[in-house]
Structure 1
Amino acid sequence: MCGIAGWVAFDRDLTTERPALDAMTETMLCRGPDASGVWLSRHAGLGHRRLSIIDLAGGRQPMTVDTPTGPVAMTYSGEAYNFVELRAELRRRGHEFRTDSDTEVVLRGYLEWGEAVAEHLNGMYAFAIWDGRADKLVLVRDRMGIKPLYHYPTADGVLFGSEPKAILANPLVEPVVDADGLRELFSFSKTPGQAVYAGMREVLPGTVVTVDRNGLREHTYWRLEAVEHRDDVPTTVGRVRELLDDIVRRQLVADVPRCVLLSGGLDSSAITALAARQLDEQGERVRSFAVDFVGQAENFRPDDLRGTPDAPYVRDVAQHVGSEHRDIVLDHTALADPEIRRQTVAARDFPIGFGDMDYSLLLLFRSIREHSTVALSGESADEVFGGYKWFHDPKVQQADMFPWVATALTSPHLPTSLLDPGLSATLDLGGYLRDRYAEAVAEVPALDGEDEHERRMRRICYLHLTRFVRMLLDRKDRMSMAVGLEVRVPFCDHRLVEYVFNTPWSMKTFDGREKSLLRAATQDVLPRSVVERVKSPYPSTQDPQYLVAVQRQVGDLVAADHPALELFDRDAVRDLARRAPEEVAPGQRNGMERLLDVATWLDIRRPVLKLS
């Protein structure tokens, strides 16, 4: 896993722009702490920061191949889990290899298949290739959008990077955020391609972007399609297990220490158990890590999202599979530390608003990085298999809105209720969300013969796989790469996603519960307590001392008249900062966390806000 950056300019000589490319590349230091490289030609410059995972000695980048008609150079981030098979195929086609890295496999795959190399890859990746034979740049992003990639068209070319900060480091770019950028920040929905900063775009998942003297073009090489599912329930369960066994086997390949993230839920427990079984065959013991909070057992109170604490289930799984387990226990002081908030917001580039769940994830990953470089995660199983409670709520099923937003709208204390009333009117978040929802629904593939309920559930599944999951993948990527930890997501393997997406909803819930297929496919390797456990999301601290610290920091912002308050309702903020903790609702706490994040973002990035 790595960080990439680059600059293509057809009307200037970039060999004189080394300082700018160095600056862009060095913003990716956390993503690639092990090595750095820059490659320059007259009209293209590529930068790379490396986190060494495969072929530690031979995978240095940018990697180049000289051809009779010009060089082909690549800067690559990610993992191609089928690189061994691809290398064998390319050797049969006459290619010779200098390294054992998957990077060289992808580069030589491009020499063989051109832009269609993306269709041959299984993995998570974002890479850029400068093809000197045709003077064109090729940007490629994986199918699910696991690895990030941004671009910024200029007057004579394009800038690109793994994160916005790489592009913002170039002197051609001003950090402008317009009304649509703010709408994206506060709407809790990730619009495909939207990058918050004006003029900047994300490379869409499953997309190839090419840039040459004629301009910029996009080509979609993968999207979710509707296909008739012909397997019965036992066959489907068997196929899910077969896929998971193969996926976990592939994603355990690394030349550095590996581990799994364990929450005690069905998703992470399944990955942990399958990894334990496969590593045991190799004579290894799986490592597992879980996050917990000081006093969580005493402070825990069931709510609509979390009915049970994680710790007892984590212990059950660790004992059941015999993992080498560690709990990372965090206290309220660490979670509320302004420096941790600053590091979190800096890593994300935007104040997205997950509050203490962002801060704890950063601290968890930092602790894990002391022991392992690669971690497997249960992320995305809920989106693939239909795990969230709102999937099963008839009112949400019928709502003409993103399901997670429709659920939030039932709360009397939305985090956005703290926004300045004038700003709220200007942004019209409700109208923005309705427009984005209509665009998303128009994309949903249809299958002849589906009844209305199956069609609506296909729509809900599609929305989660193309919108909601990308918010979580983005969060996971930024928090892990901020500490140089590579987190892999087996449930995002496109073969599994395609297969389960086309499984009828009645089959996804054949036992009357959420994630029926996943439960049935893995119950033989799990303790009964986890098989029977109801879905519980990533944990959030319930320590009242954390809330007190947040209120105190918000009070300090009010006293200092921080510029962030221009975006918020000052009276409402002041009132919340003074309330007794027991009088603050969860949504209001998250609203205060959002304010603190926004203030930190303004201090770090100093964006120019243009609302007209």
Structure 2
Amino acid sequence: MCRILGHFDAHCTRDALRAVAEAQRHGGPDGQGLRSGADWALGSNRLAVMDPDGGAQPYALRTAPGEVVAVFNGELYNHRELREKLEARGHAFADACDGSVIPALFTEFGPRFTELLDGMYAIALVDLRGEPTLWLFTDDVGMKPLYHHWDPARRRLHFASELPALLTFPDVPAAPLPTGLDTYLATKTPFGERTMFEGVRVLPPGATARVTRSSGLTLVRRPPAPAAQPPHGTEPEAGDRVRELLRAQVHRLTEADVPVAAITSGGLDSGLVTALAAEAVPGLHTFTIAYTGDWPADERAFARAVADRAGTRHHQVEIDPATFPGLLDTVVRHLGQPNADPITLSTQALFAAVRRAGFPVALTGDAADELFGGYDRLHRAVHAPAGTDWVPGYVEALAAVPSALRGRLYSSDYRAFMADHGSVSEEITARLRRDGSGHPDRLAALTAFEVGERLPAYHLRRVDHLSMSSSVEVRLPFCQPDVVRHARSLPSRLKLSGGRRKRVLYAAAEGLLPESVLTRPKQPFTLPVTAMLRPGQPLMEHAREVLAPGRLRRHGLLDRRQVEALFRAQSAAPSDRAATAIWALMVHELWRERFFPATARRRVLDYRMPEVAV
């Protein structure tokens, strides 16, 4: 596991490259490597997980026509099988690290070598056997992000694993995306290739990008592997199949040359991963988060029940809400752009505790809700009466702030600007009506959107950045290719039917989890932000300070009177709606102040939309 960086056809000194690497060193504190040539460079910060004594990056393979050089962020769980295949073809390897097979795979199979990979990855590779060519690859789910800035006029590309690192390159400008505030509030963080920075993109899942001096940048998304159509049988039979598939993947993901732990929230998804991991790791350590004091939706008892049933050594990480204002700045800095989920604070604190306890690797249950139909918005959309328009309600459920409230909160200038340019909510609505309304399986269409757009942007990048900020590699059994393909093959009746969600996962968990966990009502793994944003609470006082009229005046995007009205409403009658809006606005303001501290107020109508050529 590493952080990677580089450029193509740009001019960057080694000192500048080291500064970029230093900006993301927390994700790879165990080693640093740089290689550069005429107008290209590749760099890596290493977190040593496999073969700690080997694995020095960049990896290189010299052939008669020229050299192939690569850097890699991720884990390849089938690297041993791949190494044996390559050794049979005459290749030799200096170490047993998973990434060392990449240059040889590329020379043997070309850019389609990703079809052979089982794991999570972001790969950058320079092929010097002909015209110098930079290749970038991401895994099919988007577990490992890669941000880039393409200058079409000068045909220069810069890339890095984290946004703050990318912005450290001298030639990468930092400017806020003009539509960014609305995009963020409409979807809680930008989806797809968008970021909150003008001209900065993130590679989508399953991406192959190619850059040459003669042809510039081309980017394609590889089609997902076709889902098999095995006979699923009854719900118990389907549950048995899912359990065995997950068992094989979880056991495989516990293999490492360093200690491995599991995150146990007390819910079905993480509980199932924990129970299966405990079968493979004697004395497995598990971690959960709790908050000092008495708060609603406390899950510590459920997490303890899961741990006791699985026989793990359980750690309850408790954080004091009084520390949240300071923790928020750390979260915003590491994420690089706003994410409106309050669980970011807990995620940051939890993984810091995991690392302090001596665990560089942790398994989680992320992605089960997207793949197996766990969200209320999916249930409502799938079971909307025939002839009704289910799309607007689904799109509204994605938002941090409902569309009507967003319109009131915006300044008159920004409201007019968005009226001219259109909201991302309108784009999503049009897409779902095109792809989903006429689909014979509405849940399949929604799952494709959730997995392809929302999951990598909202969940996976958050987990990646906040775990790697503490040098912890997160492994995601539900994102494994075999699990994803199998989930896509399941009929909707085994996911959502009869008022029940994730039916096949509950069937898979029978006998592995306590009955109290299997029968508890679903609740999101999140911070009790509504209770914490009340008068007298440290978080409420901090929010008032961050969203004070004088600070909002600097960018002119929000109507200060309406923001104050939001605080009055929350103080008089605390609600999820007002609390979530206050939280989202506070995070956005902290992000602007961190990344644009010297930016004077600019009129929104003077902004220009970014032009990004691909």
TM-score between the two structures when normalised by the length of structure 1: 0.89
Aligned partner of 1:366 in structure 2 is 352
Q: Deviations over 1:193-244 (max 9, x none)?
A: 1123222221121111010121111233233757656432355333312220
Q: Which runs of no fewer than 5 residues in structure 1 stay unpaired?
A: 301-307, 447-451
Query: 1:239 is paired with a residue of what secondary structure?
Result: helix
- Pairing 1:427–2:418 present: yes
**Paired residue type of 2:396:** V
Deviation at 1:519, TM superposition (A): 1.2
Distance 1:268 1:479 in 2: 18
Aligned partner of 2:611 in structure 1 is none
RMSD: 2.7
Aligned partner of 1:303 in structure 2 is none
Aligned partner of 2:223 in structure 1 is 222
Distance 2:142 2:554 in 1: 31
Aligned counterpart for 1:148 among listed residues 145, 150, 155: 145
Contact 1:129 1:138 in 2 (8 A): yes
**Paired residue type of 2:424:** Y
Aligned partner of 1:41 in structure 2 is 37
Deviation at 1:60, TM superposition (A): 1.4
Aligned counterpart for 1:74 among listed residues 54, 70, 76: 70
Aligned residues, how many? 586
Distance 1:246 1:414 in 2: 47
Aligned partner of 2:430 in structure 1 is 438
Q: Deviations over 1:152-210 (max 9, x none)?
A: 11213311111222221111121122324344322216432112322222112111101
**Paired residue type of 2:148:** H
Aligned partner of 1:449 in structure 2 is none
Distance 1:186 1:482 in 2: 25
- Pairing 1:400–2:386 present: no
Aligned counterpart for 1:84 among listed residues 57, 60, 80: 80
Contact 1:293 1:331 in 2 (8 A): yes
Relative to structure 1, is the Cα distance of residues 210 and 394 closer, same or farther in structure 2, using a 3 angstrom cutoff?
Answer: closer
**Which of 547-556 and 499-508 deviates more?**
547-556
Q: Where does 1:386-397 land on structure 2 (aligned, <5 Å)?
A: 386-393=373-380, 397=384
Aligned counterpart for 2:451 among listed residues 450, 455, 465: 465
**Paired residue type of 1:357:** I
Contact 1:48 1:62 in 2 (8 A): yes
Q: Deviations over 1:246-299 (max 9, x none)?
A: 1101211111111111011100000000001122xxxx2111000111223xx3
Aligned partner of 1:272 in structure 2 is 274
Deviation at 1:573, TM superposition (A): 2.4
Contact 1:418 1:568 in 2 (8 A): yes
Q: Which runs of no fewer than 5 residues in structure 2 stay unpaired?
A: 609-614
Aligned partner of 2:251 in structure 1 is 249
Contact 2:409 2:558 in 1 (8 A): yes
Aligned partner of 1:139 in structure 2 is 136
Aligned partner of 2:612 in structure 1 is none
Contact 1:384 1:497 in 2 (8 A): yes
Aligned counterpart for 2:319 among listed residues 318, 322, 330: 330
**Paired residue type of 1:525:** L
Q: Deviations over 1:391-429 (max 9, x none)?
A: 222587451247263475996995775333442342249
Query: 1:178 is paired with a residue of what secondary structure?
Result: coil
Query: 2:587 is paired with a residue of what secondary structure?
Result: helix
Aligned partner of 2:168 in structure 1 is 169
Distance 2:570 2:178 in 1: 35
Q: Deviations over 1:541-572 (max 9, x none)?
A: 35855543233234334264455562222112
Contact 2:552 2:558 in 1 (8 A): no
Query: 1:524 is paired with a residue of what secondary structure?
Result: coil
**Paired residue type of 1:249:** H
Deviation at 1:434, TM superposition (A): 1.9
Contact 2:192 2:454 in 1 (8 A): no
Relative to structure 1, is the Cα distance of residues 554 and 192 closer, same or farther in structure 2, using a 3 angstrom cutoff?
Answer: closer
TM-score between the two structures when normalised by the length of structure 2: 0.89
Aligned partner of 1:19 in structure 2 is 15
Aligned counterpart for 1:53 among listed residues 45, 49, 57: 49
Contact 1:62 1:73 in 2 (8 A): yes
Distance 1:442 1:394 in 2: 15
**Paired residue type of 1:271:** V
Distance 1:468 1:544 in 2: 27
Q: Deviations over 1:21-41 (max 9, x none)?
A: 222222111111111111111
Contact 1:454 1:504 in 2 (8 A): no
Q: Where does 1:186-335 land on structure 2 (aligned, <5 Å)?
A: 186-188=185-187, 190-213=190-213, 214-223=215-224, 230-233=231-234, 234-279=236-281, 284-296=282-294, 299-300=295-296, 309-335=298-324
Contact 1:7 1:21 in 2 (8 A): no
Question: Structure 1 vs Structure 2: percent identity of aligned residues?
Answer: 29
Q: Where does 1:375-524 land on structure 2 (aligned, <5 Å)?
A: 375-393=362-380, 397=384, 398-401=389-392, 403=394, 405-406=396-397, 418-428=409-419, 431-439=423-431, 442=434, 454-470=440-456, 471-509=458-496, 513-524=500-511
Distance 2:169 2:392 in 1: 38
Distance 1:331 1:115 in 2: 49
Contact 2:340 2:400 in 1 (8 A): no
Distance 1:54 1:576 in 2: 50
Deviation at 1:528, TM superposition (A): 1.4
Query: 1:159 is paired with a residue of what secondary structure?
Result: strand
Query: 1:426 is paired with a residue of what secondary structure?
Result: helix
Query: 2:176 is paired with a residue of what secondary structure?
Result: strand
